[in-house]
Amino acid sequence: MKWFTYLSGALLIAGSVAPAMAQSSGAVLTVPNEATLPKGPVGDAIKYGRALLSNTRRMLPNNVGNGLNCSSCHLSGGTVAYASPWVGLTGVFPEYRSRNGKLISLQERINDCFQRSMNGKPLAFDSTEMNAIMAYMKWLSTGVPTGTSVTGRGFEKIDASLNPDHARGAALYASQCAACHGSVGQGTTNPQGGYVFPPVWGPDSFNVGAGMARLYTAAAFIKHNMPLGRGGSLSAQEAVDLAWYVTQQPRPDYPARIHDWPKGGRPKDAR
């Protein structure tokens, strides 16, 4: 099962914004035509931001502490519904996040993912790289009314009352995932460097503070998007079983998680 994938170089998420549950909205998720890219410095920044999010590990080695790219979770460059798309995000931030317990900017949300999903270090808010990422997300959000989420933002909802079964999850991983992500979650390496299919646990995967390390967040992603090309073929129970097996495997720690949900409301699957 191809839980995550890299489609490097193409119009393709560490980057990494909001593995939150999907929200209802009145805006249709529409990806701008490539022909609408502006000329000059702004267009160059948009292209650079897209490249950074698709080849994050190679292009930002000082900020990424594992083997992932942002496009590992934000499929096809953040353009796929219910795969945490970036379309429309620039119009809904600043946004209150209960995990942070405060209103945060989109730059803060991006850095949250660099520190958690990428197990790395934040970008400077005024850096060329952060501005390029913001430019790409702004372009993706063309035509989405300010303050409106697109249909398919975040992940689809999944029944959080379902209880996982470890043995069933292990069997599902062996039959659906191991061919691409390895028998022990180590991923499939690329001879040119990095991963063709990234690791889903171990030292080169996301840390325990990442949204994808949570049972029902991971299950929601799996249910809608995996196996790659056959999203929706697993039942909700199978997705929960599989997510439990994967999320409970060893992965890097994130000590700062003890400060999450400072005002309460910690989800039952929080690590």
**127-172 tens-digit pLDDT:** 999 999 999 999 999 999 999 999 999 999 999 999 999 999 999 9
State mean pLDDT over 21-37: 80
Pick the more confident residue, 12 or 29: 29
Q: Would the pLDDT of 18 be above 90?
A: no
Pick the more confident residue, 7 or 218: 218
Q: Would the pLDDT of 73 be above 70?
A: yes
pLDDT on residue 194 = 86
pLDDT on residue 23 = 45
Nearest to 259 by CA among 59, 115, 94, 122: 115
Nearest to 210 by CA among 70, 78, 60: 70
Tell me the backbone φ, ψ of residue 236, rounded to 5 degrees: -60, -40
Q: Would the pLDDT of 12 be above 50?
A: no
Mean pLDDT computed over every residue of the chain: 90
- Taking the model in full, what pTM does it have? 0.88
Measure the CA dihedral 124/126/132/137, to 10°.
Answer: 90
Length of the chain: 271
Confidence of residue 192 (pLDDT cuts 50, 70, 90): confident
Vertex 151: Cα angle to 147 and 157 (nearest 5)? 115
Q: Would the pLDDT of 9 be above 90?
A: no
Dist CA 20 CA 254 (whole Å): 19
Nearest to 188 by CA among 211, 204, 210: 204
pLDDT on residue 8 = 34
Vertex 221: Cα angle to 218 and 226 (nearest 5)? 115
Return all residues near 258 (Cβ < 8 A) that are at least 6 apart: none
pLDDT on residue 191 = 85
pLDDT digits (tens, 9 = 90+) for 217-252: 999 999 999 987 777 899 999 999 999 999 999 999
Lowest-pLDDT choice from 20-24, 161-165, 192-196? 20-24
Confidence of residue 190 (pLDDT cuts 50, 70, 90): confident
- CB contact at 8 A, 66 and 254: no
Dist CA 172 CA 241 (whole Å): 8
Domains plus CATH for the chain? Answer: 166-259 (1.10.760.10)
